Copies of this chain bind each other. A is one copy, B any other.
Amino acid sequence: MHGADLTLLTDFYQLTMMQGYYHLNSRDQIVVFDLFYRVNPHGSSFSIAAGLEQAISYIENINFKEDDIEYLKQQKIFSDNFLDYLRTFKFTGNIYSVPEGTVVFPNEPILKVVAPLCEAQLIETALLNIINHQSLIATKAARVKWAAGNDTVLEFGLRRAQGPDAGNLGARAAVIGGCSATSNVLAAKWFDIPAKGTHAHSWVMSFSDELTSFRKYAELYPMNCLLLVDTYDTLKSGVPNAIKVFQELKDKGIKPAFYGIRLDSGDLSYLSKKARIMLDEAGFEDAVISASSDLDEYLIRDLKLQGAKITLWGVGTNLITSKGNPSFGGVYKLSAKYDGEKFIPKMKISENPEKITNPGNKKIIRVYNKRSGKIKADLIALNHEEIDESKPLVLFDPKATWKHMKLQPGTYYTRELLVPIFIDGKCVYDTPSTFSIKEYCEKELSTLWSESRRLMNPQNVYVDLSHELFTLKESMIKQYRNEQ
């Protein structure tokens, strides 16, 4: 999507609704839309927000060109006046968002649009597309990296990604969530992240035999010599041939900066242990053993528990597609309308209690334990609410209000998560580099208790409503019920 014109990247119904608002003179009605999600992917207790940089670029480049207008005209449903309005359409509103790499939880407005109705409506689909995708992959990457511990994880999934953008933007999100590098050269160039990779089976097969292929590779790349050892037979042929070549380098007095083997099939636990012994016995204790065969967070964790001697993990398909949970359920819901003086809260009532939205113009206040720096809870509050940290803070569970806790002054501190991105249509936010976002994300992850990070049945972090928001929501539900 780098530089692509995504103005029409929207659902058709956004345009039919926009034309409706335009003709009903409500196009400039200021409204609030919340972008939030209801369930973390993969049974995680948290997600990592990502995609803001591309969302900003999308909004800044909205521009209905003549051929877009012509295309819409051909649909025979849009009036000339409305199409004229689109000709000069620009986003003029405000957007607030959590920074990329932030740890977030269900039901929080991780991005908030305060803008004229027509504008807020147009951008819904692309915002969701971009943020859903990258948040999904960043979250998966954080899980994979957690399983790998201090080992390095590389993103290797381009060939199985769902199209070029999924490969490129997915690589970016994977680095934000915890990967150190990618195999994808275009993503590496665009996002200034290291590109990694050595050779494939086809290299080995293009020579008369494996040993020759390794020798040639080592001659060409003596300083960075990771040999793929499973083309024919890993332990009988691949590893012995690799050792021969490492010995030949040694005999020539060459000390590679980085060398070792890559396993891409078979029983990675068994093969890595056997290979480690063979390499060590030959005097190559510093040779790296890497692996890249249908890995995910569960398999990596299991291999580590089995004592596999792998310290470098190339993760492909399962990360880049977020296999097992290939979508992030972000939604975009109207929460308030501005009446010229104040925001009138709006909410979607549903038979399904989880689908009832939180009304009003809101913000997220994160409450930390002062001693540990860990997250105590998040508080969704109305925008005008302020926390006085010199007073006790009462938190309660909105689903079970009898469960509450009182935090004494001095034991906690708070931080507001939403920061201004666009004000009056102008971007006021400097996007950090991908690696800065990655570092920020690492700090964010360190604010979670380890009980909340484990892969299975993690402890959920409390997301509470402020007392004022809770009361507002209850009263609106009651009012709706009474009107029935």
Contacting pair A12 B195 (CB below 8 A)? yes
Bound complex: CA A132 to CA B161 (Å) = 8
Contacting pair A166 B166 (CB below 8 A)? yes
Known: A220-B23, A327-B323. A8 touches B133 (CB 8 A): no
Stretch at the interface among A231-239, A247-255, A362-370, A387-395: A231-239
**Candidates B4, B186, B329, B350; contact of A8 at CB < 8 Å:** B186
Contacting pair B221 A185 (CB below 8 A)? no
Contacting pair A129 B9 (CB below 8 A)? no
Per-residue interface assignment for chain A, residues 187 to 213, with 1 indicating a CB less than 8 Å from any chain B CB and 0 otherwise = 011000001111111110110000000
Q: Does A68 reach chain B (CB closer than 8 Å)? A: yes
**Candidates B20, B197, B480; contact of A16 at CB < 8 Å:** B197
Contacting pair A8 B126 (CB below 8 A)? no
Q: Which residues of B contact A188 (CB under 8 A)?
A: 12
Chain B residue nearest to A181 in the complex (CB): B12
Q: Which residues of B contact A8 (CB under 8 A)?
A: 185-186, 189
Q: Which residues of B contact A349 (CB under 8 A)?
A: 231-233
Q: Would you give the shortest CB distance from A172 to chain B, in whole angstroms?
A: 10
Q: Does A102 reach chain B (CB closer than 8 Å)? A: no
Bound complex: CA A45 to CA B216 (Å) = 43
Contacting pair A160 B185 (CB below 8 A)? no
Contacting pair B68 A189 (CB below 8 A)? yes
Known: A13-B200, A220-B23. A162 touches B162 (CB 8 A): yes
**Candidates B13, B164, B236, B321; contact of A4 at CB < 8 Å:** B164
Q: Which residues of B contact A130 (CB under 8 A)?
A: 163-164
Contacting pair A220 B20 (CB below 8 A)? yes
Bound complex: CA A20 to CA B221 (Å) = 9
Q: Does A402 reach chain B (CB closer than 8 Å)? A: no
Q: Does A40 reach chain B (CB closer than 8 Å)? A: no
Bound complex: CA A16 to CA B13 (Å) = 47
Contacting pair B327 A197 (CB below 8 A)? no
Q: Does A36 reach chain B (CB closer than 8 Å)? A: no
Bound complex: CA A162 to CA B164 (Å) = 10
Contacting pair A12 B196 (CB below 8 A)? yes
Per-residue interface assignment for chain A, residues 327 to 356, with 1 indicating a CB less than 8 Å from any chain B CB and 0 otherwise = 111100110010000000010111110010
Q: Does A484 reach chain B (CB closer than 8 Å)? A: yes
Q: Would you give the shortest CB distance from A180 to chain B, in whole angstroms?
A: 13
Q: Which residues of B contact A26 (CB under 8 A)?
A: 206
Q: Which residues of B contact A133 (CB under 8 A)?
A: 161-163, 166
Q: Would you give the shortest CB distance from A424 to chain B, in whole angstroms?
A: 22
Per-residue interface assignment for chain A, residues 1 to 18, with 1 indicating a CB less than 8 Å from any chain B CB and 0 otherwise = 111101111111111110
Q: Would you give the shortest CB distance from A402 to chain B, in whole angstroms?
A: 30
Contacting pair B197 A11 (CB below 8 A)? yes
Q: Does A217 reach chain B (CB closer than 8 Å)? A: yes
Known: A4-B4, A164-B1, A326-B162. A185 touches B10 (CB 8 A): yes
Q: Which residues of B contact A121 (CB under 8 A)?
A: 202
Contacting pair A159 B132 (CB below 8 A)? yes
Q: Which residues of B contact A68 (CB under 8 A)?
A: 189
Q: Which residues of B contact A236 (CB under 8 A)?
A: 484
A-B pairs with beta carbons under 8 Å apart, 6 shown? A9-B185, A20-B216, A133-B166, A162-B163, A163-B169, A265-B351
- Give chain A's interface residues, CB within 8 Å of chain B: 1-4, 6-17, 19-21, 23-24, 26, 29, 31, 33, 68, 71, 75, 77, 117, 121, 124-126, 128-130, 132-134, 136-137, 156, 158-170, 183-186, 188-189, 195-203, 205-206, 216-217, 220-221, 224, 231-233, 236, 265-266, 317, 321-323, 326-330, 333-334, 337, 346, 348-352, 355, 480, 484
